[in-house]
Structure 1
Amino acid sequence: MYAQYDGLIFDMDGTILDTEPTHRKAWDEVLGRYGMRFDLEAMIGLNGSPTWRIAQAVIELNQADLDPHQLAREKTDAVKAILLDTVQPLPLVEVVKEWYGRRPMSVGTGSESAIAEALLNHLDLRRYFTAVVAADHVKNHKPAPDTFLLCAELMGVSPAKCVVFEDADFGIQAARDAGMAAVDVRLL
């Protein structure tokens, strides 16, 4: 089905790993410390964004006087404490296994590299990917195409010959802006 592509790129959270419930639990825990709340629909709309950008939106919603980068660090620490014990692969990981050794593959994620690498290693999935490009590897995050363009570069594949698997509108836009085909896994 994907034989016409020379490289496969996968988003991580919500695409190959079921991390969303854990991320929400971590946000609940951290925001509870400050008596803050978040709008679930707004947060879902920010899927694919780096943690600090989500933190900034939450701070604005709550009209709080906090540093978004510090709040993001607290959330990342909370995620690390619970993530490895709770996250499971999603069915799309079978596509990864099927194409392993046949095409170069990479992960392009809005998560921080420490979390992405820890999760992929813990679940014995890291070995399938030529590269993992995370939020701290690019200046411009999804919906900008930088994450996926760097994936293509590290795989040694032309962007026009890549397909991106995504579960978020920001990621679909980033793939298209990178000149890549996009598969919206929410429709599979």
Structure 2
Amino acid sequence: MSRYDQYDALIFDMDGTLIDSMPGHFGAWQKTASDFGFEVDETWYLTRFGSPTLVTATSVVEEFGLDLDPKVLAARKTEHFVSLLDQSVEVLPFADVARRYAGKKPMAVGTGTLSGLATDMLKKAGLFDLFDVIVGAEHVEAHKPAPDTFLRCAELLNVAPAKCLVFEDAEFGLDAADAAGMDVIDVRVTDVGLD
């Protein structure tokens, strides 16, 4: 019996948990920075990875003193990311958990990415059809570390939060799951454990 069998629903973060698109996101931010006359490096990006694009864009406008609407910056970054999508999606080991339980347990993706882009990425990775629900950045007012994303997943799956297990790779996502009253697996330090 798997350690996952005791839960009524499984909720997955996307980036860093199911797929790795960090090179594509970083490349998109580099192109965006070049477009608007500022520079970013990998160290800068690693402090923001997993944050919704608009949240990062807002912080960029403040940090670099840009006279620019963050929505314009976010839109340009998204355009660049979409252009890089073909070469920027790698399926990660915890996708095997989703494959194992597809059709057996309700499952959701709770991500800081806009749902349309998340759908495209999951389709590109061959994972989209495994999930019943995708909750993206536009579906909640408060993003991780607030619990809203995961609570919305539970609501749409019609499963009590305490009966949900979350899979995450970022501190603010772990905090969000905890705040939602859900058990959480930190995929950075845990084996898939399907045997």
When normalised by structure 1's length, the TM-score is: 0.94
Structure number with higher helix proportion: 1
Aligned to 2:19, the other structure's residue is in SS state coil
Per the alignment, residue 143 of structure 1 pairs with: 145
Per the alignment, residue 175 of structure 1 pairs with: 177
Q: Separation in 1 of the partners of 2:45 and 2:133?
A: 27
Q: Separation in 2 of the partners of 1:39 and 1:120?
A: 27
Is 1:68 paired with 2:63? Answer: no
Q: Is the 8 A contact 2:137 2:143 kept in 1?
A: yes
Per the alignment, do residues 45 and 86 of structure 1 end up closer, same or farther by CA in structure 2, a change over 3 Å counting? Answer: closer
Per the alignment, residue 131 of structure 2 pairs with: 129
Give the counterpart letter for 1:15 in structure 2. Answer: T
Q: CA deviation at 1:114?
A: 1.4
When normalised by structure 2's length, the TM-score is: 0.91
Aligned to 2:166, the other structure's residue is in SS state strand
- For structure 1, the 5+ residue unaligned runs are none
Identity, in percent, stands at: 47
Q: Root-mean-square deviation (CA), in Å?
A: 1.4
- For structure 2, the 5+ residue unaligned runs are 191-195
Per the alignment, residue 113 of structure 2 pairs with: 111
Per the alignment, residue 24 of structure 1 pairs with: 26
Q: Separation in 2 of the partners of 1:47 and 1:177?
A: 21
Q: Is the 8 A contact 1:37 1:58 kept in 2?
A: no
Select the residue among 174, 187, 190 that pairs with 1:185.
Answer: 187
Q: Separation in 2 of the partners of 1:169 and 1:39?
A: 21
Q: CA deviation at 1:58?
A: 1.6
Q: Is the 8 A contact 1:120 1:126 kept in 2?
A: yes
Tell me which moved more, 65-74 or 47-56.
47-56
Moved over 4 A (4+): none
Q: Separation in 2 of the partners of 1:61 and 1:109?
A: 24
